[in-house]
Structure 1
Amino acid sequence: MTSKHILIVAAASGMLCVALGAFGAHALKETLSEYGRVDTFELAVRYQFFHTLALLFLGLDTDRKHSLSASLFISGILLFSGSLYFLALTNSTTLVLVTPVGGTLLIAGWASLLWHFIKRA
């Protein structure tokens, strides 16, 4: 994955974070409140946004290759935040076992980045 690809994904994800956050706070507020899932939805947006910022920084660092970390972050966002969005919007626990897998991928992304910095030092 090139820096350009990482930046494209980061920009798209950032746009989605703002759109989903606004949509959740306004259009979906009644549904999320009814299911008691406002906090779940906000957690999904927050984690997606944090890792979107991480992707942005990885993409801006053109001197180093961060493809593994970026791929782990992207996969983690999709599984972690995606499963939380699904839970918040449907109140279905069908994908509940996917959430920790996504969280593990996010942790692995940070571990990969840490390993890269240790090797570089």
Structure 2
Amino acid sequence: MVSAKEDRLTVDELLTRFETDDREAVRSFLLLDAEAAQTLHEAVPHIESIFGAKVAVALEAVCGQNCVSPDNPETGEAPELYALIQDDSRDFDASFSRLARFRTQWWQSVFPRVRGRLGFDVEMV
């Protein structure tokens, strides 16, 4: 069993590796969904091997108006977290080819664990 302290350490490590415009929303999501946090942690070496070790990845927590909160996890709409892999290459075909490789080589096998709660995409910047 993972302790709350270990969960916070993993989440803080993720927030150090990934970028976000809404740190508290992403942190809350990751603390509420340990499986998604673990899957995101596992994704790091796969993302880096395909997109490069220095690739930026932005995390975005998305939820409607009635979103689940840490104070009230039993009601409301479950949030989703998107990991947007930043690509500044201007080569759309190569970028989406890398995303397809990421999905085929790793994401498809772990997707069922976090279906509808965590997603990966490429964002051209």
Task: Report the TM-score when normalising by structure 2.
Answer: 0.34
Structure with greater contact order relative to length (CA < 8 Å, sep ≥ 6)? 1
Structure with a larger share of its residues in helix: 1
Which one has a bigger Cα radius of gyration? 1
Structure with a larger share of its residues in strand: 2
